Amino acid sequence: MNKETLNTALTFFQRGRPSCEQFHQSPKLDDLRKTDLTYSQFFRDYLLPNAPCLLSPDFTDGWKCRRQWVKGDGTPDFEHLLNDFGDSIVPVANCDVKEYNANPKHNIPLREYLGYWRQHRERSYSSPQGCLYMKDWHMHRGFPNHGVYSTPDFFQSDWLNEYWDTIKLDDYRFVYMGPKGSWTPFHADVFRSYSWSANICGRKKWLLFSPGQEEYLRDCSGNLVYDAQSPTLQDKNSYPKYSQCCQPIEVVQEAGEVIFIPSGWHHQVYNLEDTISINHNWLNGCNIDIMWSFLQGELRAVQGEIDEWKDHMEDWHQHCQLLLKSCTGINYSEFYTFLNIISKSRMAILDASSEDTANVKNIYPRELSALGPCHSVFDLHRSEDVLTSLLSNEDFRKLDTDLLHPRPEDMLHKIREVLSATPL
């Protein structure tokens, strides 16, 4: 990140986020497609305004999986996948069955899934088992040295995977594989993170709804629709607000292309052909405020659910945090730990780069040091903002923050000290 982009970004957040109205007129597909793009352009034109875009296959040309996993005719190379990953246990969803607002999943060896997929093709895309979609396979976690793809620079500022890698618990890097006709129902991503998704082979159709549009896709009880193209939406008694919904942005993503899905955009996805993709969920300084608002909304929902117990339970607030963790995967004190780990890393990068630039490269992975010291300054500013909001949040203050190390006030003080001592 250069100084000019840093200044643009800091001014952007000082002014506050503009509304999403600009997205209600669908942009032309060709306006979304990008061939030449620098990191600063991507940051300014897509990350800051939280706008979708589609990167050309040039950005994935060098990936080994685009040759190894795909046959000359553009279809998946089953033999190769079987050979390299046949024994891996993978999650498989049944697209024909609705369970709550998703599809039920079970785990099987990839070998078995590939056998199913081959047969499904031979039977003209119909099977007694239904349409099965292998999704959310943590291939990178199982094979960290695979080297079959590398995260494009645009998506390198990724606090989410950096945090989970640091605490060695999980990651949000996935492989998806499915036959023509497999699909993913209407949803927004975990923690309202971004996603990026690269087609290794095949094509996907994406329906993208800008933030807020989902309110028109709720039924009378407030539940989101399962299928955003379902005819039941026309029924005014069931979906009274549907007529106010704008047309979604429709994007057809070709083989090799990479789509960027902004934070909090609901979407629905169809595999138009047999398709393999790599999908990461990610978060950074540009959408951490969106994650924080999301967590506050989820906590309010949990509090509403068990409101009647408030005066009868001594540890009601702790209990709400427990429920928040089980609904969303994270609670407020973990969110603090997340901010703390990222801030500490950025302070260490700035510390090392003030002494010796070679030092940064030795301590940190290429990806982080390549983003440059301005990025660390930006990240610290964003962390400072969200930490300030967290510290003034009533529900956070009710928790026993003495158990947190370092104490949040001390962390905030340290960040401010480092920022005021950084000559940028």
- Of 139 and 368, CB closest to ligand AKG: 139
Residue 41 has a CB neighbour count (10 Å cut-off) of 13
How does DSSP assign 385-398, residue by residue?
HHHHHHHT-HHHHT
Q: Smaller CB distance to Fe ion: residue 85 or 196?
A: 196
User: Considering the rule CB under 6 A, would residue 279 count as an interface residue with ligand AKG?
Assistant: yes
Choices 103-111, 160-168, 261-269, 392-400; region in contact with ligand AKG by CB under 6 A: 261-269
Closest-approach residue to Fe ion (CB): 189
- Please, what sign has the CA dihedral across residues 364, 367, 373, 377? negative
Q: Does 184 bind ligand AKG (CB under 6 A)?
A: yes
Choose the stretch contacting ligand AKG; rule: CB under 6 A; options: 119-127, 189-197, 236-244, 394-402: 189-197
Say how far apart CA 331 and CA 398 lie, in whole Å.
13
Q: Which residue, 267 or 375, is less far from ligand AKG as judged by CB? A: 267
List the single partner that 269 binds among Fe ion, ligand AKG, none, CB under 5 to 8 Å by kind: ligand AKG
Asked if residues 411 and 340 have their Cβ atoms less than 8 Å apart, the reply is yes
Q: Which amino acid is residue 58, in one-letter code? A: D
Q: Of the two residues 92 and 352, which places its CB atom closer to Fe ion in the complex?
A: 92
Q: How far is CA 279 from CA 139, 204, 321, in A?
A: 11, 13, 29
Assess 261 for contact with ligand AKG (CB under 6 A): yes
- CB atoms under 10 Å from CB of 43, counted, come to 23
Examine residue 347 and tell whether it contacts ligand AKG (CB under 6 A): no
Name which of 189 and 379 has its Cβ closer to Fe ion.
189
Shortest CB 69 distance to ligand AKG, Å:
16
Q: What is the DSSP letter of 27?
A: P
**Burial (0-12, 13-18, 19+ Cβ within 10 Å), 394:** exposed
Question: Residues in the site for Fe ion, rule: CB under 5 A?
Answer: 189
CA 349 to chain centre: 25
> How many CB atoms are located within 10 Å of the residue 281 CB?
22
Please report how close the Cβ of residue 41 comes to ligand AKG at its closest, in angstroms.
23
Which residues of this chain interact with ligand AKG, rule CB under 6 A? 176, 184, 189, 195, 197, 204, 261, 267, 269, 277, 279
